[in-house]
Structure 1
Amino acid sequence: MPVLMQARRRDERHRAATPLELFFDLCFVVAVAQAGRQLAHGLAEGHPGHGISGYLMLFFAVWWAWMNFSWFASAYDTDDVLYRVVTLVQMAGVLILAAGVPRAFAHSDFTVIWFGYLVMRLAMVTQWLRAAHGSRGAERRTALRYALGVTVCQIGWLGLLALPEHDIPWVFVVVGLLELAVPALAERERQTTWHPHHIAERYGLFTIIVLGETIAAATLAVQSALDRNDALGTLLPIAGGGLLLVFAAYWIYFAVGNQPKEYLNAEAPPGSWPNGADTSGASSLQFAMQGAGRYVHHAVGAGIDRGIGAASTGDAPHRDADAGRQLAAATIHRALRRDEREGAGPCGSHAETPAAVANADAGNGAPGYV
């Protein structure tokens, strides 16, 4: 029988990602891979503007749906039968969305994508309504505002179907900003009880899965090129450079080390971070927006393999080669500079305390994992 959905404690000990959440992430990576393939086709056909803009728009849609689920689950995951069934419906929605990606890129037909997004968001609204049913007062009003905000935004996405093709980017900009505003409006009275360590782990795990998909797709691209061309002298540097890019992307994200529990200081009382900053008056939007930088990181990481594939098959225009080398150099340079800034040694050890590391990232105002 379904249990009453109530908020989980923010100071809950030993909170970790569940197998259902990991399964959920795998389905989202399928959609990311589909968008990446269309990006590769756009680059190969000499239309980088269309490919990159379409990729970033679709990646935002997938990434924001993942964000919605992850932050909700951090506060309200009951892991009962009803919760699992609704989550499986969300997973079905993202797979429907993934199936519509090629049609959206080729013909600007967003019907299948919109329907897949509708399935995901209606499931999310159901979760928020269930949370409202199990709560009272300000917490109930917060859940209801979330349900209303998600519904209004989904109606806004109808612009993808109703407006002319040249207006589609503006639909993404306007409705995307509305999507980002929902947490601020919903939590203006009371914030949800998301778990800091759990959220940090969720971001990190999604990054690992995206980079894993990147390595798998790049490996298949190089293998395909080897089957058609035995020029190892050309392919091996491309494969090696691509692998170095993935390693650098990993290094940039996890520059604060490999012990998130120490960094986030799970022993700290609710309402404070390891650097002593009081978060009692902050909404989850403030910390979700720290993840906006991770949107760029995830999007770039997921797109690396497409560049490797285009280069290894010889489909990419030669004029992009210098830009690719510059991107690689900039990525590796940033990884090394950030590692130096964080005070990490060659094996990832840190001379500074977790508080000093957090303060070194004070420009972000939140832990480096988020």
Structure 2
Amino acid sequence: MPVLMRARRRDEEHRTATPLELFFDLCFVVAIAEAGRQLAHALAEGQPGHGITGYLMLFFAIWWAWMNFSWFASAYDTDDPLYRVVTLVQMAGVLVLAAGVPRAFTHSDFTVIWFGYLVMRLALVTQWLRAAHACRGAERRTALRYALGVTVCQIGWLGLLALPKGDVPWVFVVVGPLELAVPALAEREQQTTWHPHHIAERYGLFTIIVLGETIAAATVAVQSALDENDELSALLPIAGGGLLLVFAAYWIYFAVPIHLHLRSNRQAFLWGYGHYPVFGSAAAIGAGIEIAVEETFGKAHLSAFAAAACVTVPAALFMATVWLIHSRHQKRGPAQQLVLPVSSLLVLVCTFAGRWAVLAAGLVACGTVAVGVALTSRQGTALVE
């Protein structure tokens, strides 16, 4: 017999991510890789409008699917057989979603993605209904509102199938904000008992997943270029700069003990939603490095400046958004507060360095880390960079 799905305590000690959660995260590697690959292909073909719009829509679908599970699990993870089976069903839906990314990107055909989402959302609604069955009063009403909200939004996504392909972006414009509103509406009476340290760890682990995919994409691009051209000298600045960017991104993100900031939904929701550009830009860095490699050998239909921007713009966006939603809460004094905003502007300036732009951006990112460490040591505060 399955156990009752009672809420876990927010002050529970030693709360960490489970093996099932780590397994769940790994299923998103395929979806993130496909979205990044399609973005790189579209930009390399000189279709920035189509590439960026498609990437933003598809990455929203990937990110929101991960968000739905992660916050629910932080409050209601019972880890009994029924919970595990339903979670595995959600993982199957993620893999279906990943399989539909190429068709959605190239042909605006969201049929497979919608079906994958349907599998995930039905499983999630089942989880919320199970939680409602075990709860009473305001907690029960919160769970039921979540189940209803998720169901209504899933019906709204039918617009992806029913409307002309040219109207697909409008479906995201309408239904996307409705999705974002569901947690606030569901928890207006009582907050779920998500765990600050646990949810911060979950976001950190997904950041590692995204940065790992960036490294993988860049490595494949460099390897393919070497196999075809055997010109190591032309690739070294891109490979080295890209590696420095990813290493610096890791350092910048994980230097802050953010769980201390997550005291209630007011802070946590803004922080959680703000990770859409954080995750999206981190994954886009890998696509940008692919484009920079292709442009170096004349395989991309865009200028050296545009290819450089494909790396520097997402890198600068990552630094700026990490500061805005994450790092600034632990800064002390104007000097520390200005490090990341100024560095993001300097990374954008590196775009004008042409084929040396990736290396220049990587050096700026490393300089950002060095300055942050120096300021921290001098001021005697917690490590913030």
- Asked whether the two chains share a fold, i.e. TM above 0.5, the reply is yes
Q: Which secondary structure state, in structure 1, belongs to the residue aligned with residue 5 of structure 2?
A: coil
Alignment of 1:238-317 (within 5 A): 238-256=238-256, 260=257, 264=259, 273=261, 279=263, 282=264, 284=265, 286-314=267-295, 315-316=299-300, 317=302
Aligned position for 1:181: 181
SS of 2:194 mapped into structure 1: coil
Whole-angstrom CA distance in 2 between matches of 1:84 and 1:322:
44
Indicate the residue corresponding to 1:107 in structure 2.
107
Give per-residue Cα distances to partners, 1:89-125, cap 9 Å, x unaligned. Answer: 0000010011011111111110000000010111100
Give the match for residue 344 of structure 1.
Answer: 373
Residues 151-208 of structure 1, C-alpha deviation per residue, up to 9 Å, x if partnerless? 0000000011111122111110110000000011100100000000000000000001
Residue in 2 that maps onto 1:95: 95
* Partner residue in 2 for 1:364: none
Separation in structure 2 between the aligned mates of residue 348 and residue 99 of structure 1, nearest angstrom:
48
**Gap change, CA 1:299 and 1:62, over 3 Å in 2:** same
Distance 1:285 1:37, change over 3 A: farther
RMSD of aligned Cα (Å): 2.4
Q: Among residues 304, 309, 329, which one is paired with 1:323 in the alignment?
A: 309
2:188 is paired with a residue whose SS is coil
User: Aligned letter for 1:191?
Assistant: Q
Q: TM-score, normalised by structure 1?
A: 0.84
Residue 109 of structure 2 aligns to a residue in which SS?
A: coil
SS in 2 for 1:53: helix
| SS of match in other structure, 2:274 | helix
Report whether the alignment pairs 1:214 with 2:208. no
1:41-80 to 2 correspondences below 5 Å:
41-80=41-80
Q: Which residue of 2 aligns with 1:195?
A: 195
CA contact (8 A) 1:132 1:143 kept: yes
Q: How many residues align?
A: 335
Residue number in structure 1 paired with 2:356 = none
CA shift for structure 1 position 252: 3.0
Structure-1 residue corresponding to 2:152: 152
Cα deviation, residue 348, structure 1 = 8.4
Residues 236-266 of structure 1, C-alpha deviations (whole Å, 9 max, x = no match)? 111111112212322332242xxx4xx646x
**CA deviations over 1:300-339 (Å, ceiling 9, x no partner):** 1112111212222333322413424753524665775588
Asked if structure 2 preserves the Cα contact closer than 8 Å seen for 1:251 and 1:335, the reply is: no
Amino acid at match of 2:280: A
CA distance in 1 between partners of 2:51 and 2:254 (Å): 29
> Residues 160-179 of structure 1 correspond to what in structure 2 (within 5 A)?
160-179=160-179
The alpha-carbon deviation at position 350 of structure 1 amounts to 7.4
Separation in structure 2 between the aligned mates of residue 324 and residue 34 of structure 1, nearest angstrom: 17
**Whole-Å Cα distance in 1 between the matches of residues 365 and 229 of structure 2?**
34
Distance 1:339 1:185 in 2: 43
User: How far apart in 1 are the matches of 2:112 and 2:269?
Assistant: 28
Q: Relative to structure 1, is the Cα distance of residues 50 and 185 closer, same or farther in structure 2, using a 3 angstrom cutoff?
A: same
Hey, what does 1:362 align to over in structure 2?
none
User: Taking structure 1 as reference, are residues 85 and 322 closer, same or farther at Cα in structure 2, changes over 3 Å only?
Assistant: closer
**Residues 54-77 of structure 1 deviation map (CA, whole Å, 9 limit, x = unaligned):** 011111111011111000000000
| CA–CA separation in structure 1 for the residues paired with 2:266 and 2:182 | 9
Aligned to 2:27: 27
Higher relative contact order (CA 8 A, sep 6+): 1
Describe the superposition over 1:243-294 as per-residue Cα deviations: whole angstroms up to 9, x where unpaired: 12212322332242xxx4xx646xxxxxxx58xxxx4xx4x36412212222
Q: What amino acid is the match of 1:293?
A: G
Task: Structure 2 unaligned segments of length 5 or more: list them.
Answer: 316-346, 349-360
Scaled by the length of structure 2, what TM-score is found? 0.81
